[in-house]
Chain A
Amino acid sequence: MQVFPFIVVAWVLAVGLYGIVTSRHLIHQIVCLIVVQSSTYVLLLGIGYRRGAVAPYFSDIPVHTPAVDPVVQALALTDVVVEAAVTALLLSFAIQAHKRFGTLDPHELVQLKG
Chain B
Amino acid sequence: MDQLLPLAAVVPLLVAAGISAASRFLRRRRRILDAIGIATAVAVTVMLIVIMTRAAHGDSVYWFAGFRPSRGVAIGIDFAAGPLSAGLACLAAALVSAAMIFSWRYFEQVATYYHALMLTFLAGMVGYCLTGDIFDLFVWFELMGVSAYVLTAYRPEERGPLQGALNFAITNSVGAYLILSGIALSYGRTGALNMAQIGRDMARHGPDRLVVVAFVLIISGLLIKGAIVPFHFWLADAHAVAPTPVCVLFSGVMVELGLYGIARVYWSVFGYGLGHRQTVTSVFLALGMLTAIAGALFCFRERHLKRLLAFSTISHAGMFLTGIAVLTPLGLAGAAVYVAGHALLKAALFLGTGIVLHRLGSVNETWLHGRGRHLRVTGIIFTLAALGLADLPPFATYLGKGWIESAAATRGFPWVTAVFIISSVLVGAAVLRVAGGVFYGLGDPPSESPQVAAESSEETSETQAAKQRTPLSMIAPAAVLVVAGIVVALLPDLGPVLQASAVRFQDQAAYNATVLSGAHIPHPRALFPPEDTGVKAADLASGFGSAAGALLLAFLALYWKRLPVLRRGFEPGTGLVQPIRRFQSGIVNDYVAWIVFGLACVGGALAFTIR
- Judged by a CB distance under 8 angstroms, whether B466 is at the interface is no
Q: How far is the CB of A85 from chain B (nearest CB, A)?
A: 6
- Measured between beta carbons, the chain B residues less than 8 angstroms from A67 are none
Quick one: which of B398-428 are within 8 Å of A by CB?
none
Known: A40-B184, A114-B582. A96 touches B162 (CB 8 A): yes
* Given A26-B166, A36-B177, A82-B139: A89 in contact with B589 (beta carbons within 8 A): no
Give which listed residue, B156, B170, B177, B184, contacts A100 with CB less than 8 A.
B156
Q: Measured between alpha carbons, how far is A29 from B173 in the docked complex, in Å?
A: 12
A33 touches B170 (CB 8 A): yes
Q: Nearest Cβ in chain A — how far from B238, in angstroms?
A: 10
Identify the closest chain B residue to A100 (Cβ): B157
User: Closest approach, in angstroms, between the C-beta of A32 and any C-beta of chain B?
Assistant: 9
- Per a CB cutoff under 8 Å, which of A43, A89, A114 touches B184? A43
Most buried by B among A9, A96, A107, A111: A111
A-contacting 9-mer, from B41-49, B142-150, B312-320, B524-532: B142-150
Assess whether A93 is in contact with B241, with CB atoms less than 8 Å apart. Answer: no
Contact of A89 among B149, B157, B593 (CB under 8 A): B149
Q: Does B270 contact A (CB under 8 A)?
A: no
Interface of A is mostly: helix
In the bound complex, CA of A79 to CA of B596 (Å): 22
**CB of B585 within 8 A of chain A?**
yes
Cβ of A61 < 8 Å from any Cβ of B? Answer: no
Interface centre among B170, B236, B581 (most CB of A within 10 A): B170
- State whether A112 touches B586 (Cβ < 8 A): yes
A68 sits at the interface (CB 8 A): no
Whether the pair A106, B587 counts as a contact (CB closer than 8 A) is yes
Q: Per a CB cutoff under 8 Å, which of A21, A23, A75 touches B596?
A: A21
Per the 8 Å Cβ criterion, residues 1-58 of A in contact with B are 9, 13, 17, 20-23, 26, 29-30, 33, 36-37, 39-40, 43-44, 47
Q: How far does the Cβ of A61 sit from chain B's closest Cβ, in whole Å?
A: 22
User: Any chain A CB within 8 A of the CB of B165?
Assistant: yes
B585 lies within 8 A of A72 (CB):
no
- Given A33-B173, A40-B184, A100-B156, do A110 and B166 touch, yes or no (CB 8 Å)? no
Compute how far the CA of A110 lies from the CA of B158 in the bound complex, rounded to whole angstroms.
11
Q: How large is the interface on A (under 10, 10 to 19, 20 to 34, 35 or more residues)?
A: 35 or more
- Interface residues in A62-93 by Cβ distance below 8 A to B read 71-72, 75, 78-79, 82, 85-86, 89-90, 93
- Bound form: Cα–Cα A9–B188 in Å: 14
Pairwise interchain contact B160-A111, C-beta atoms closer than 8 A: yes
The residue among A17, A29, A112 with the most chain B CB atoms within 10 A of its own CB is A112
Given contacts A20-B170, A86-B173, A112-B307, contact A40 B181 (CB under 8 A): yes
B193 at interface (Cβ–Cβ under 8 A)? yes
Contacts of B153 in A (CB 8 A): 93, 96
Q: How far is the CB of A76 from chain B (nearest CB, A)?
A: 9
Min CB distance B168 to A, Å, is 10
- A17 and B240 alpha carbons, distance in the complex (Å): 26
State the Cβ distance, A36 to closest chain B Cβ, in Å. Answer: 5
Alpha-carbon distance A90/B164, docked complex (angstroms): 12
Q: In the complex the two chains form, what is the Cα distance from A75 to B164 in whole Å?
A: 30
B8 touches A (CB below 8 Å) = no
Contact (Cβ within 8 A) A112 B241: yes
- Which residues in A have their C-beta under 8 angstroms from that of B158? 100, 111
- Determine the residue in chain A with the shortest Cβ distance to B577: A114
Q: How far is it, in angstroms, between the C-alpha of A70 and the C-alpha of B169 when the chains are bound?
A: 30
CB-defined contacts of A43 to chain B, threshold 8 Å: 181, 184-185
Docked complex Cα distance between A114 and B585 (Å): 6
Provide the bound-state CA to CA distance between A89 and B593, in Å. Answer: 23
**Is B180 an interface position by the 8 A CB rule?**
yes
Pick from B159, B170, B585: contact of A111, CB under 8 Å: B159
Partner among A21, A29, A93, A113 whose Cβ is within 8 Å of the Cβ of B156: A93
Interface centre among A30, A71, A72, A110 (most CB of B within 10 A): A110
Cβ contact within 8 Å between A113 and B584: yes
Q: Do A39 and B149 have beta carbons less than 8 Å apart?
A: no
- What is the bound-complex CA distance between A43 and B458, given in angstroms? 45
Give Cα distance in the complex from A93 to B164, angstroms: 11
CB distance from A62 to the nearest CB of B (A): 22
Output the least CB separation between B109 and chain A (Å): 19
Give the complex CA separation of A79 and B193 in angstroms.
Answer: 15
For the complex, what is the distance from the CA of A100 to the CA of B461, rounded to whole Å?
16
B174 touches A17 (CB 8 A): yes
Bound complex: CA A31 to CA B377 (Å): 50
A97 to B166, CA, bound (A): 10
Contacts of A37 in B (CB 8 A): 173, 177
Q: A71 to B77, alpha carbons, bound, how many Å? A: 13
A47-B185, A109-B159 are known contacts; what are 10 more A-B pairs with Cβ within 8 Å?
A40-B180, A47-B188, A86-B145, A93-B165, A97-B166, A100-B157, A106-B166, A106-B587, A112-B160, A112-B241
Q: Interface of A with B (CB < 8 Å)? A: 9, 13, 17, 20-23, 26, 29-30, 33, 36-37, 39-40, 43-44, 47, 71-72, 75, 78-79, 82, 85-86, 89-90, 93-94, 96-97, 100-101, 106-107, 109-114
Name 6 interchain pairs, CB-CB below 8 A, sorted by A: A23-B589, A75-B184, A86-B146, A90-B169, A109-B159, A112-B236
Q: List residues of chain B with CB under 8 Å of any chain A CB.
A: 135, 139, 142, 145-146, 149-150, 153, 156-160, 162-166, 169-170, 173-174, 176-177, 180-181, 184-185, 187-188, 193, 236-237, 240-241, 304, 307, 458, 581-582, 584-590, 592-593, 596
- Enumerate the 10 nearest inter-chain pairs by beta-carbon distance, A residue then B residue, closest first: A113-B586, A110-B586, A47-B188, A114-B581, A111-B159, A111-B160, A96-B156, A21-B593, A109-B163, A20-B592
